[in-house]
């Protein structure tokens, strides 16, 4: 079963942080304690670590987005939980 990764407490009463970069992509295997993302606030830069080993199933936010402490940022689970790739939209008909 997939586990939701929350935005951690940044301390210093920051309240929220901005995602700088994902260090792991969707589909990447991760170990517990391995950094998966980097967040910034006014006072601190923080690497978010995977709480469990598994596969990064989904990014719930994008770089540049700010989220409150405790808000869900990603999902980690087993490889068989990885969603199928979205089907591309059909091309418009040629005239």
- Token digits of residue 6: 């929350």
Q: Model pTM?
A: 0.78
Write the DSSP string, 3-21. Answer: EEEEPPP-STT--EEEEEE
**Tens-digit pLDDT profile for the chain (95 aa)?**
789 999 988 765 667 889 999 999 999 999 999 999 999 887 778 899 999 999 999 999 999 999 998 999 999 999 888 764 443 444 455 55
Domain assignment of residue 18, given as a range: 3-81
CATH number at residue 77: 2.40.50.100
Q: Rounded to whole angstroms, how far apart are CA atoms 66 and 10?
A: 12
Split into its structural domains, the chain has a count of 1
The end-to-end CA distance of the chain, in Å, is 48
* Cα dihedral 47, 52, 58, 64 in deg (nearest 10): -10
Does any domain span residue 15?
yes
Does any domain span residue 87?
no
């Amino acid at each position: 079963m997939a586990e939701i990764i929350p935005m951690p407490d940044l301390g210093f009463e920051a309240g929220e942080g901005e995602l700088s970069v994902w260090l792991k992509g969707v589909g990447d295997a991760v170990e517990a304690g391995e950094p998966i993302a980097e967040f910034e606030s006014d006072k601190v830069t923080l690497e978010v670590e995977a709480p469990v080993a598994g596969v990064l199933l989904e990014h719930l936010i994008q770089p540049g987005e700010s989220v409150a402490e405790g808000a869900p940022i990603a999902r980690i689970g087993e490889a068989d939980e990885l969603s199928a790739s979205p089907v591309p939209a059909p091309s418009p008909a040629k005239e």
